[in-house]
Amino acid sequence: MGSQRRKSRKRKRYGPAVLLLALLALGGWGAWCFLAPYGPQAEVFVEIQPGSSVLRIGQQLESAGVVRNQFVFDVLRWIRRGRLLAGEYRFDHPAAVTEVYDRIARGDVYTKAVMVPEGATVFDIAERLEQAGFGPKESFLEAQARDTSLVADLDPEARSLEGYLFPDTYRFPRKATADHICETMVRRFRQKAALAGLKEHVHDVVTMASLVEKETAVGAERPLVASVFANRLAHHMPLMTDPSVIYGLELEGQWRGAIYQSDLKRDTPYNTYLHAGLPPGPIANPGLRSLQAAMNPAKTDYLYFVAAGDDPQGHSVFSATLEQHAHDVAAYRSAMRKAGAR
């Protein structure tokens, strides 16, 4: 009897210690599971589809080698009770499962940045998209010519999306299609056009804005350039703008990188030396300031200008008479010669 009581007392004395050790071991294992980095050394992409269950997401992550065990990810989701967001995620280094979970919970999806400058044409945009890895430029050019229904309510005359692909810095998913890119850029245009108050005569305003955008990069000059075009239209004078001629040549695959006298005589619909009025449509994608200038040209009597892009000082020179314009052109050429001599 005494021996049994001694054994019983011994078990009671060491039982809590063993339990404590077990709890510490379990806690250490849990901390290791949740906090110890694990994952790929090179980039791995995991695409979570909308409506995916937590079980499915955990399976994807474990299968891709992003998490050590899907059970741990499931437990973390149960503890956090957060919402996991669909999208494609890029993992390129070992990380704790908590970091992986947090990235998916905040929607840190992988995207590629594409910067579209003011005045970019569809050809320029196509080149930039191809360089960023969004497929051959031909795919985008075909899409922007095909998807004119995106702007049919704004511009029933639109022959393409030229003019309606708003210049900005975009972040697109890695697998974004040309159609998706067009939709995103047109949506941005609509937002900016609404901000500018553009509601009427959209085709003409955007076409005028594209001419202004290509003729000057100086913000303060945009309303003045717009006034020259508006005045020439009012006087039934041809606009005689080189960027429009160049665009017509680009459309026909005839642009040689520099404009020649013979190009000014080539009969395309965009040759504003041969055809009066605005060209058939926009020749580039204008920014907000050019849209505003086209909507509200300055009140001037100017009919001519030497473009800022050609002036060594970077400023346009405006005039109301042909005689003054001829003087300004001569002064510009002299300045260019002197600048070349230095």
Q: What length is written for the chain?
A: 342
Return the HEC string of 241-286: CHHHHHHHHHHCCCCCCCCCHHHHHCCCCCCCCCCCCCCCCCCCCC
- Alpha helix (H) ranges present in the chain? 2-35, 54-63, 70-80, 97-105, 122-131, 137-146, 178-196, 202-215, 222-234, 242-251, 288-295, 322-341
User: Hey, where are the domains in the chain?
Assistant: 44-105, 112-196, 202-341
Give the pLDDT score at 312.
47
CA-based nearest residue to 162, from 297, 289, 280: 280
Average pLDDT estimate for 34-42: 83
Q: In the structure, what pLDDT confidence band is assigned to residue 23 with cuts at 50, 70 and 90?
A: low
Q: In the structure, what pLDDT confidence band is assigned to residue 251 with cuts at 50, 70 and 90?
A: very high
Average pLDDT estimate for 72-89: 90
The tens digit of pLDDT for each residue in 316-337 reads 889 988 888 888 788 877 777 7
The yes/no answer on whether domain 44-105 falls in CATH 3.30.70.2190 is no
Q: Which residue has the higher pLDDT, 221 or 8?
A: 221
Give the pLDDT score at 341.
46
Q: How far apart are CA 187 and CA 229, in angstroms?
A: 28
